[in-house]
Amino acid sequence: MKVFDSPAAWRGFRAGLEAPGFVPTMGALHEGHLSLVRRSQDENPWTVVSVFVNPTQFDEAADLAAYPRQVEDDLDRLREAGVDAVFLPSAEDLYPDDYRYRVSENQLSHRLCGAHRPGHFDGVLTVVLKLLNLVRPARAYFGEKDYQQLQLIRGMAEALFLDVDIVGCPIVREADGLARSSRNRRLAERDRRLAPELYRVIRNSGSAEDAGAELAGLGFEVDYVEDIDARRFAAVRLGEVRLIDNVPLEAGHS
């Protein structure tokens, strides 16, 4: 496995090679990330993974500071998974303009998580565009847990005529139903026991309003529960940890 820590080194290696599959991550890798890696390996001649905690998508400095970082463990997991290359850029590498230039979307990005995290999706779209331009993959893989993000990235790729297929992959869950997330490791023991109720409630409640009320009654701080385009989206907080999830709606849900 080859590891590159600068755009110049990466570009020197990438030149002349056929297009890879690409899995962009913020590290603290878990089985959800590795499922994306395996999908890429099945569908591409080689696979590159990026590990970069993107500062521009955090709306709270404390959240950025607390985000788990374990690069050596991540590299071990990726090496064991048979990844061909890893890109480890710095913030200075990716933002030489000090974030003066950015990508904005003015409809979907203002709903759901965007309504509660101002500027979040500007940061997401900007860094993804930069990474896609550097990696130049045939396909890039994103998990459906961040379904709003996935839809925004697909829309950006289409609107800006990017020559890449944006591939969405199913949510990977723990045995108790909690969606896999790097943030889960920050949950206090009591909160970790409660967290799977998020999935149970949004899957089984008859309406978004009922789901929000039940979650609040269980002790979650509810940012939102909304039904949009036959899918239910939710974001909640347990202590200092924000969790998101979504489920497709079956017939009969309002």
Check residue 186 and report its DSSP letter.
Answer: G
Residue 253 has pLDDT above 70, yes or no: no
Ramachandran angles phi, psi of 215, nearest 5°:
-60, -45
The helix (H) or strand (E) run that includes residue 154 is: helix 147-159
Report the distance separating Cα 10 and Cα 85, nearest Å. 9
Chain mean position to CA 24:
8
Residue 251 is predicted with a pLDDT of: 57
Query: How many other CB atoms are there within 10 angstroms of residue 37's CB atom?
Result: 21
Report the distance separating Cα 9 and Cα 134, nearest Å. 11
Is 30 annotated in the active site? no
- Active-site residue identified among 30, 33, 116, 120: 33
124-179 pLDDT per residue, tens: 999 999 999 999 999 999 999 999 999 999 999 999 999 999 999 999 999 999 99
Chain mean position to CA 137:
18
199-239 pLDDT per residue, tens: 999 999 999 999 999 999 999 999 999 999 999 999 999 99
Minimal CA–CA distance to 192: which of 210, 172, 174?
A: 174
Domains of the chain by start residue, with CATH: 2-169 (3.40.50.620), 182-248 (3.30.1300.10)
Residue 250 is predicted with a pLDDT of: 82
Residues 145, 148, 152, 153: what is their CA dihedral angle, to the nearest 10 degrees? -10
64-113 pLDDT per residue, tens: 999 999 999 999 999 999 999 999 999 999 999 999 999 999 999 999 99
